[in-house]
Structure 1
Amino acid sequence: MSDLRIRRASFSDIDAVLRFWREAAEGTSISDDHDGVAGLIARDPEALLLATRDGALAGTVIAGFDGWRCSAYRLAVHPGHRRQGVATALLRAAEQRFAALGGRRVDAMVLEANEQAHHTWAATGYHREDHWRRWVKPL
């Protein structure tokens, strides 16, 4: 695991991240395009964390903090790198970022049908809160 490197994404990573999400992530987001990711990096340059191994993208997580809530999005690990501690390392880095910013609790959006993700989140100390539901409105 010592060859795994966690770093923040830059504008030059956008196209690779979008390709990676098409291959490794479950579901899609309305913001899964160049402008969406560029806007994230411009707004919060340290939010999109990348895990690389031997120069290749192995995983991602968005560690967003709005001054009130810590939110984890787009935790994705390449199929060839799963069950090797990549998700754990990404979440640890996200949690360290949140703690340094004064965050108190992490909220994660996890697809209901993604059973594999449920196991990953549970194994890293997260639990499901069934009394909340997400409400959305596209702009």
Structure 2
Amino acid sequence: MDDLAIRGAAPADAGRVLDFWRTAAEGTSISDDPDGVARLIARDPGALLLAEAGGVLVGTVIAGFDGWRCHLYRLAVHPERRRQGVARALLAAAEERFTALGGRRGDAMVLERNERAHHAWRSAGYAPEHHWRRWTKPFERTP
């Protein structure tokens, strides 16, 4: 993929990323709004990685590191660019980021029903850990 460039998102990219996720991402997140994306970019610059081809957004991944664990979210590739190495390039960039920050192992949020994603994650060397279960609790938003 000679035309593929990967970079960290800037604040001006928030709206573009949200539009892209509506087309390319499976499922939605409670943080899928301009404030959520802006907060991510401000809090952890470099965590939201964008793959662009000719200036067109073709893929994303969030590679967040909390100092203890390396977390991967929102791996999404435009439907017309799937199976062309975009996801692999994004994950390689995320892993480089984690290694530079001292990370030792990445974990990924992958929807169980998203069989297409399972193939991408497995081909990149990731595997499910069936002895773990994600527990969540949404927080109330205060004005």
Report what 2:62 is aligned to: 62
Deviation at 1:118, TM superposition (A): 0.3
Unaligned runs of 5+ in 2: none
- Alignment: residue pair count: 139
Q: SS of 2:29's equivalent?
A: coil
Q: SS of 1:74's equivalent?
A: strand
Unaligned runs of 5+ in 1: none
Deviation at 1:87, TM superposition (A): 0.1
Kindly provide the amino acid, as one letter, of the partner of residue 49 in structure 2.
L
Report what 1:14 is aligned to: 14
TM-score normalised by structure 2 residue count: 0.97
Kindly provide the amino acid, as one letter, of the partner of residue 117 in structure 1.
A
Q: What RMSD over aligned residues (CA atoms) do the two structures have, in Å?
A: 0.4
Q: SS of 1:50's equivalent?
A: strand
Deviation at 1:18, TM superposition (A): 0.1
Kindly provide the amino acid, as one letter, of the partner of residue 14 in structure 2.
I
CA–CA separation in structure 2 for the residues paired with 1:96 and 1:86: 15
Report what 2:32 is aligned to: 32
CA–CA separation in structure 2 for the residues paired with 1:80 and 1:11: 26
Report what 1:120 is aligned to: 120
Describe the superposition over 1:20-76 as per-residue Cα deviations: whole angstroms up to 9, x where unpaired.
000000000000000000000010111000000011000000000000000000000
Describe the superposition over 1:97-131 as per-residue Cα deviations: whole angstroms up to 9, x where unpaired.
00000000000000000000000000011111000
Report what 2:130 is aligned to: 130
CA–CA separation in structure 2 for the residues paired with 1:7 and 1:92: 12
Deviation at 1:2, TM superposition (A): 1.0
CA–CA separation in structure 2 for the residues paired with 1:84 and 1:2: 11
Kindly provide the amino acid, as one letter, of the partner of residue 43 in structure 1.
R
Q: SS of 1:20's equivalent?
A: helix
Kindly provide the amino acid, as one letter, of the partner of residue 53 in structure 2.
R
Report what 1:52 is aligned to: 52
